[in-house]
Structure 1
Amino acid sequence: MEIDYSKVNVIGFDADDTLWVNETYFRDTEEAFADLLEGYETKNKIDQELFKMEIKNLDLYGYGIKGFMLSMIESALDLSNNQVSQETISKILDLGKKMLGHPVELLDGVTEVLDALKNKYRLIVLTKGDLLDQERKLEKSGLSEYFHHVEVLSDKKEENYKHLLEHLQIDVKEFLMIGNSLKSDVLPLLNIGANAVHVPFHTTWQHEEVKVEDDKYDYLKISKLTDILQYLK
């Protein structure tokens, strides 16, 4: 695919599942949560109800581990008809705390790409989630030095990107976003006239899944992050 990135001078990176592993830990925790509640419902039912609870609570809690923890507790109460034990609630909290304290695992090629681009482009992080948790992960990642700006957004919709790019005085035509989510990191940028690259992660949260007609959008999809270096000279 021939896409011209010659006008790009600012590159935005998603964080979770683009720079470091994230969704895998949510899936592992969902498995552990289902094991804790197996006396009340089937695993499939528990998974479905937890997802419904997360979506219901998004406007209230936002994205991130803390909101996920609260949704697990609320789901446990609902699934057990308020019979779940204090011990189980405590174990659910421990699951969330384990996630919050998990070491940051960089994805392959991240430092190689950032090293290659840092002197040619202005690099920024655009992520969503809990501010404290995302700041913690960035600090633990050792990547802070590469970025001119870090923004933790409440959501990644067109209006969020528009407002941020205007605030940072970045021309949409000169901006390129790189991320693993079509819904959050690619389509909103294309819709406002910016550039975007899709780097799929092997696991995607159900809420981030979206079907796209191949001929409707013109964007680059790469199999691994280091592939972007072929297109940015």
Structure 2
Amino acid sequence: MNNAITTIAFDADDTLWINEPYFQEAEKQFCLLLEDYLPYHSVSQELFKTEMQNLPLYGYGVKGFMLCMVETICRISGNTAPSALIDKTIGIGHELLQKPIEVLEGVRETLESLKGKYRLIVATKGDLLDQERKLKNSGLQEYFHHIEIMSNKKESDYRKLLKHLDCRPEHFLMLGNSIKSDILPVLEIGGSAVHIPYHITWSHEQHSHHPEHDRFTKLQSMIEILDYL
């Protein structure tokens, strides 16, 4: 590992705490609500199509997901769905916004060990209020020098972050569960990246190939980063 690393950034959802299983459960509830209109798998496909169309407008997070569910209902039903169906869908979203925060195994111990040795930050996508709530309720906030809720995770977004942190790319390490968002853009700008897979990944974040790069590695759990460093 490059011993010039001074700043370590952590993705939040499905890297620090559980997230995607909650979204998949919410989607399951939603698809079951609309079975009178379309088969389950077709509803799921329609919802994903709506999410992809609206991603440039809504960004990532629960609120955009809620709006996409409502829009999907309107389209599938031809604007004939009863208001009770909309109410139930909003209820699914509200429940999602109030899920308990379950910190993943090894995260707290890792942060405790790294604290004081590196500048630790959170670099995550999502809705600002929701991510702030999750961070507060996780009990992990004290470990981080800086929290960055990003609208996206492309090369330009990471360059902007590094400029704000006054950090050169060769001193920067990103840890996350998404090859597409947490790994490839960081490697492209000259940083280092560690992939810590989670057993469930949102379709939009799935990426089948691992990069061949001397500044990239894959670990099976968060705690392994201590030996890697």
TM-score by length of 2: 0.98
CA drift at 1:220: 0.7
* Cα separation, 2, equivalents of 1:95 and 1:176: 36
Match of 1:26 among 5, 9, 23: 23
- What does residue 186 of structure 1 align with? 183
User: What residue is the counterpart of 1:108 in the other structure?
Assistant: 105
3-state SS in 2 of match to 1:114: helix
Tell me, in whole angstroms, the C-alpha distance in 2 between the residues paired with 1:216 and 1:112.
28
Q: CA deviation at 1:61?
A: 0.7
Correspondence for 2:217 among 189, 206, 220: 220
Change (3 A) 1:76 1:197: same
- The question of whether the paired residues in 2 share the 8 Å contact of 1:158 and 1:188 is answered with yes
Which structure 1 segments of 5+ residues have no match? none
What's the offset of the Cα at 1:218? 4.8
CA distance in 1, matches of 2:202, 2:216: 21
What is the count of residue pairs matched by the alignment? 229
Q: Is the contact between residue 14 and residue 20 of structure 2 (CA under 8 Å) also seen in structure 1? A: yes
After TM superposition, the structure 1 = structure 2 runs for residues 74-153 of structure 1, keeping only pairs within 5 Å, are 74-153=71-150
| 8 Å contact from structure 2 (residues 191, 215) kept in 1 | no
Question: Per-residue deviation at 1:213?
Answer: 5.5
CA distance in 2, matches of 1:99, 1:152: 19
C-alpha deviations, 1:169-221, integer Å up to 9, x for none? 01110010000000000000000000000001110011001232653675110
User: By how many angstroms is 1:164 displaced?
Assistant: 1.1
Which ranges of structure 2 fall in alignment gaps of 5 or more residues?
Answer: none
Moved more, 207-216 or 64-73: 207-216
* Equivalent residue number for residue 12 of structure 1: 9
The answer as to whether partners of 1:5 and 1:231 remain within 8 angstroms in 2 is: no
- Shift, 1:83, TM fit: 1.4
Q: Helix, strand or coil for the counterpart of 1:20? A: coil
Name 2:205's counterpart in structure 1: 208
Distance 2:55 2:211 in 1: 29
Deviation track 1:50-78 (CA, whole Å, cap 9, x = no partner) reads 00100100111110000000000000111
